[in-house]
């Protein structure tokens, strides 16, 4: 929706836009399900995924490491207004539903 935003990672439906490290995510996945950090397109074939059209491909961004954990900030917007924020962190680069989570709510 916002391809020129400096605040969002580049995301495509085709991995051909990437020549180096990128992330492959299931289009309907949540909480780390079927998220893969790949170094090149050849690795997609090694995953044995026939339905690569069900995935989106996102620019890789190295997360900061704080005391052995990688934090990810998620935010929610409702009717163009900030509604909430969550910080999820894990010992791995891919956060899951078992990762530590701290929610914040805006009024």
Q: What is the pLDDT of residue 63?
A: 92
Q: Could you read off the pLDDT of 5-22 as tens digits, one per residue?
A: 888 899 988 888 888 899
How far out from the chain centre does Cα 37 lie? 10
Mean pLDDT of 42-66: 79
Q: What is the pLDDT of residue 68?
A: 95
Q: How far apart are the C-alpha atoms of 21 and 1, rounded to whole Å? A: 23
Q: Could you read off the pLDDT of 27-51 as tens digits, one per residue?
A: 887 778 888 888 877 676 666 666 6
DSSP run (H or E) holding 45: helix 42-46
**Domains of the chain by residue range:** 11-59, 70-105
Q: What is the pLDDT of residue 89?
A: 93
Q: Where are the extended beta strands (E) located within the chain?
A: 11-12, 22-26, 35-38, 55-59, 70-78, 81-90, 100-105
pTM: 0.76
């Amino acid at each position: 929706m916002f391809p020129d935003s400096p605040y969002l990672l580049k995301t495509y439906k085709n991995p051909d836009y990437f020549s180096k490290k990128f992330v492959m995510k299931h289009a309907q996945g949540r909480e780390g399900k079927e998220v893969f950090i790949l170094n090149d397109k050849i690795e997609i074939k090694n995953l044995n995924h026939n339905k690569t059209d069900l995935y989106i491909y996102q620019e890789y961004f190295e997360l900061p490491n704080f005391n052995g954990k990688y934090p990810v900030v998620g935010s929610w917007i409702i009717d163009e207004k900030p509604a909430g924020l969550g910080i999820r962190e894990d010992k791995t680069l891919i956060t899951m539903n078992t990762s530590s989570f701290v929610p914040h709510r805006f009024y």
